[in-house]
A and B are shown apart, each in its own frame.
Chain A
Amino acid sequence: MVEGAASGSEKAGTPVEAVVDSDDEFKNDALKLGDFLRRYHPSVPDVKHDVLQERYRIDLATPLPELDSKTSRAYAATDLAEPTRLLFAQLCQPGSVQRHNAISILTTTSHPYILPLAAAGAVQLSRPEEERFVIFHERPQGKKLSELLTQDRQQITQSFVCDRIIAPIASAINQFSELDITHGTINPDNIYFDDIAILGPCVAEPCGYSQPFYYEPLERMQALSAAKGEGSTAHDYYALAIVVLYILHGAKHFEGMTPDSVARAVFQEGVYNALTRQKEMPEMFYDFFRGLLSQGDKDRWNYRFLKPWIDGKRYNVLSPPPPVEAIRPFEFNGALANTRRELAYLFYADWDKIAEPVRNGKLGQWIAVSLRNKELVEKVTRIGRSILELGSKNEMQLNEQLMHVILLLDPNGPIRIKNLSLYIDGIDSLCAELYAGKANQELHLLAKFIEFNMGNYWLDIQRKTSQNYAIPASVNAILIKLERLRSTIRYGGLGFGLERMLYDLNPEMPCLSPLLRQWHILTLPQLLTRLDRLAPNLSKDDEPLDRHMAAFLANRLGIQHEIRLHDLATSPVLATNRAIIALHLLSLAQQKSSDIQLPGLTHWLVLLILPTLESIHSRTLKRKIKTTLIEQAKAGYAQLLADIVVTSNYASVDQTGYQKAWNLYLTNESKIAGFRTGSRIDQESIKFGFIIGKAIAYGAFLISLFIAFRGM
């Protein structure tokens, strides 16, 4: 190809067989490709609608709104292998996050007090005609606990609560603990009761996503709902205690509570006092609540303490005193804080005002005098100095310093930065949530958080504050992802940017391209075959690669550096062309996928690339490339097209040829002008005239000489 191209350009100056208008050529080529696409009908495998694994069928005519969640709709379902087994299906919204690790564990787990998870996967729905991720659970028997409590309060006795509710739920939480996962959504609306309580589903959304705030311990309550992370079963035991409070005192107990009122009460009175509100309760529950409503996770009862209590053992646990850490409170923004945690809470509530007390040393002074923590004073003073040096120059660096202050004050709390409050292992679901909500400002903040490696500071703090800190698996996994993301997040071209952050953080996220939103596309072959099928309809108006698809492909292909087409460097128009970059990415994807032919996609790509080739100067080269592309598109391998358009050196051949041709044109122009100059003609005529005259004169002289001497 390249040899042909070279000869084409070197041919400059030789006759071209036929001169066809460029527009007509393009129209003819486009017509050929369009004609192929019109006649192209790829074979579509016979997909059964509304059925997963040819076994679980969704009945879309029977919605079950009582089983809906924030990010999924519930419908009745049946197990075709066991028609008597009633199921329900959770149809997850596109772009929502599911707990895939928990799904894979729970599908193979059976526990009498955990609602069985039958299967999960992408299902082609009949109405609407789209593919969705669906989770099949056994349909819970009986009522929701919240309904039971509003209807039959008479039957709720102490032994009933202990044996039929606490015991099964504690056993289920213990099972979760053994599986190293957290339920995260234990509340009366997600506990079902027939003759004994069983735990409802928890995998269709991020852990604790729809959990009401008062079921969460204070530190989780402060995080954004999508950014709570995986947490631990200590949080589930806490939620169990709140469920029992709900059973004992009813829904009215929680009326009027706001996240702020609960937080302030917990800071001032401690968790136990703040949530029990010191109401009368059966004596047997004193230990239960004091054990479970502890101030920190480490002191909280687990199954080792709870099981004996359920079996009748009593501990006589003491009520924890209200938490007071400082000798004198710190006044901030009209409120008083007695503990570092409380101050961190107050600071986050008014971000713009944190810098002042840190900068002017008021915070350092309070820590020195009231907390007597020299190490902390040094750190805070250092941050104060940095803030002073920064001034108002760099907002992001200022935010980073303020985040450090809050982390130093409350190392166990969420990472708080401006309007984001997250746990490090919740960063993936938070990113997805912000993306779905089109919260661009927050997404950029999150990107900066990753780029500035702020997660590492959090890890350092955790290591320093708790001895023998073992990084949880979920945290470790996310830290690895963040480390990899740091190198790519600063690039903004195709395949990178916020979309890339979304796919890198959420590898189970399907491609969210507007062209593919109807399908749950997770792999490269799925994406390629879908684009191939879409080619006949979309080739008229759309490009086969948008930012989402590019980021998805770059993620699946593990591309870590910005895409630069070095072979086309001599022609910036071609090197930066979206259609050519699309071809490059799609060819890599096809190479990585198994042997699949994609004639629809290749014709679509050629159709898009043709106008770009107009930037090639040489008509012969252009014609040759176009003809070869159209010919090769029939094979259905994008790699063949990429070999011609991306990796061959036609661009430099064209450029060099053009340079030579331009020089030749210029020389010819000056020659023509020279031939047309009158004075030159006169000079040449005189010169030539003398030559002729001399020649004739010399001839005459020779003849005369010959004649004269002949007569001698």
Chain B
Amino acid sequence: MLIKKGAEASLFLKDWQGRKVIMKRRLPKKYRLQEIDKKIRTYRTIHESQLLHYAKEAGVPTPTIFMVDLADSNIIMEFVEGKQVKQILGGLSFEERQSLSKHIGELIGHLHFNEIIHGDLTTSNMILTPSGKVVLVDFGLGEKAVELELRGVDLHLMKRAFQSTHFRYAKECFKAVLEGYACVVGERGAKEVLGKIKEIEKRGRYISERRKAEE
């Protein structure tokens, strides 16, 4: 059953060897040459599987991978039971929201500490399981990188996600995220990234922040 159709990949919910699984398929694109298409799809399939694995090594829960099918560019992975953080954040009390945000910050801290960039940190890509674990999904835009710039962009995206979907408590949530982040990477590391975020926001691309920064 198709549960999400993206421009690049589609997610199917399937029964596989008696398990409920997610199959992430990267479908061929007719507009590009087959050679280029195959190369891109294969590369991204391998890359995403690796990142899911690296994240686990870093202590960040991600779906378990059952099979990587390079011939068809499929990843078959665990279906994570739970709710998207996006759906539940609004219904939490202030304290609960704070502690969840802080926990998310810790997870991001673990990723960055281990040189992993998620690439699409939004509250829809975080699943809260019934046991209270937060599982990060969709590393499709992620990469392994050491650059401070990329860590800055990653966290900046998180901030934007809060602002666009959880406007009323964006500020407090992001603050808690940074707190959790600092617990893992250390005060100095957190300060460095925070400085970078400010710099990114001052660039032309993010005009409203630039105005605010100039005021």
Are chains A and B native binding partners rather than an unrelated pairing?
no
Chain A residues with CB under 8 Å of chain B are none
